[in-house]
Amino acid sequence: MSRAVHLDGITKRFPGVVANDNVDLTIEPGSVHALLGENGAGKTTLMNVLYGLYEPTEGRVVVDGQPREFDSPRDAIESGIGMIHQHFMLVDTLSIAENIVLGNEPRKWGGLAMDRDRAVREVRELSDQYGFDVDPNALVEDVSVGVQQRVEILKALYRGADVLILDEPTAVLTPQEIEDLLTVLDELTAQGKSIIFITHKLGEAMDAADQITVLRDGKNVGSVDTEGTTREELAELMVGREVLLETEKEPADPGDVMLNVSGLRITDERGVEQVSGVDVVAREGEVFGIAGVDGNGQSELIEAITGLDSPDEGAISFNGRDITGMSRRDRIDAGMAYVPEDRHEQGLVMEFDLVENGLLGSQHSEPFTHDGRIDWDGTRAHAEDIIEQYDVRPPDADASAESLSGGNQQKFIVGREFARDPSLVVAAHPTRGVDVGSIEFIHDRLLDLRAEGKAIVLISSKLDEVQQLSDRLAVMYEGEIMDVVDPDRVTEEELGLLMAGEHPADTPSLRGEAQ
């Protein structure tokens, strides 16, 4: 049997960057192959070469034993390659069948009109063949994210894909939807399809894949059979050293209430309520976690807490002081640090160098400003301390933020915010895009702040992260807090049900405690 795909010595260079460096990769027919590595490791670039979005600088693509040159995704699709991107490319107002056949519609009346009945029939037959259980007539806007993902997969299958590339496919799924996806992958491989599963999550790669290839700094640093490896070995391949994967923390010793959010309601510019009567209490010396699938009101809640937006109703108290109408600058001066979820829009000025970015939020304050003048020597020393402590690469304070990888941008922001000596840290996805070694360091630093009596509000889409670090864990769904639970006692299944808007029976609740 020939190999489904072989990438032979793929190198992809961009100005000043080698994204892929002489990468070999073999995908066997009827298998799931995980492409594992941190953001910036070269995973998506390599798959964009396979999918025809990029031409390789060097090397060749071999599909089903034949060398191929792809000038566009259309060429890749015609060769049986399909790609399901992290952000779905669906038209919400069209039906599932219309989305799947879009651009390849069956025609009638001599090609003058789309044959809708045939489209529905073909999509239903394709769905039944793979056990997908989707309704071809349903509107995309009315179905769950998990079903939308199946629609994307069916789009590729409808176009004849034998090799499917899934880019970070679990990023917006609940635990139950992830289990459903794994079932879908089993059915696809049972029928001879090959899956390339891009991820930076160790456990996910172990659960989903038959083989795993690890990329680091654009290079293939190892390909292994899943049954013959461990999470620890994979972590070491990813970062080049031994990594402690489990976070160990002492029991919390909560003190006084530092943050009190009461009855918060927020509507967006369309008049749609995004946060519905939310209460949050965070105390000194504890981590209050907020979990949930992205897009369920977490962003709006955090923007109100940090002063980036104003609530329509409700009150926010910080260290016993009403700050509901207080500016972002005044909240920083009062001792609130914020690691934002969007590092480009809210965390950095991309064209500024790291000296200037290290000053953001403190440009009006001692010790960086004296008599209205910035102390640039002190500011440079501050930036260099962050770079050294958080292993920001390249270690150059004069480098622009835009020249850094996403993971290094994130490490710099985390270092800057933690260096403020805050009373409250609001950390939204603090380890997004950083390597597992840096994750270990950031987790330890969060727990150091907790031990120092700081209050931490942690928002993360990584369920293992928020469950390991939190002392109390709230779950948000459609703008409401479904419950507040003990992260050490709640199961992943129970969390998944809460994230999907269901109250599991007999789940111990902490709602109302520590108020």
Q: Among residues 194, 200, 169, 198, which one has the least CA distance to residue 44? A: 198
Segment holding 101, helix H or strand E: helix 96-101
Helices marked H in 159-201: 175-190
Q: Among residues 465, 342, 349, 361, which one has the least CA distance to residue 422? A: 361
Would you state the pLDDT for residue 99?
94
CA 431 to chain CA mean position, Å:
9
Pairing between strand 472-477 and 286-291? Answer: parallel
Residue type, 28: E
The DSSP output letter for 33 is: E
Contact indicator for 391, 445 with CB cutoff of 8 Å: no
Would you state the pLDDT for residue 515?
46
pLDDT, tens digit only, all 515 positions of the chain: 456 899 999 999 998 889 999 999 999 999 999 999 876 789 989 999 999 999 999 999 999 999 999 999 999 999 999 999 877 889 999 999 999 999 888 888 877 788 999 999 999 999 999 888 899 999 999 998 889 999 999 999 999 999 999 988 887 788 888 888 999 999 999 999 999 999 888 888 999 999 999 999 899 999 999 999 998 999 889 878 777 677 778 889 999 999 999 999 999 888 899 999 999 999 999 999 999 988 899 999 999 999 999 999 999 999 999 999 999 999 999 999 999 988 888 999 999 999 999 999 988 888 888 888 999 999 999 999 999 998 888 899 999 999 887 778 888 999 999 999 999 999 999 987 677 777 888 898 999 999 999 999 999 988 889 999 999 999 999 999 999 999 999 988 899 899 989 988 777 777 765 44
DSSP letters for 342-397: -IIIII--TTSBHHHHHHTT-TTSTTTEETTEE-HHHHHHHHHHHHHHTT-SS--T
Segment holding 337, helix H or strand E: strand 336-339
Contact indicator for 408, 385 with CB cutoff of 8 Å: no
Would you state the pLDDT for residue 3?
64
Would you state the pLDDT for residue 145?
85
Contact indicator for 380, 355 with CB cutoff of 8 Å: yes
In whole angstroms, give the CA distance from residue 201 to residue 36. Answer: 7
Contact indicator for 267, 312 with CB cutoff of 8 Å: yes
In whole angstroms, give the CA distance from residue 412 to residue 400. Answer: 12
Domains and CATH numbers, the chain: 5-239 (3.40.50.300), 244-335+423-515 (3.40.50.300), 345-421 (no CATH)
Q: How many helices (H) and strands (E) does the chain have?
A: 16, 24
Would you state the pLDDT for residue 165?
96
| Coil, strand or helix at 277 | strand
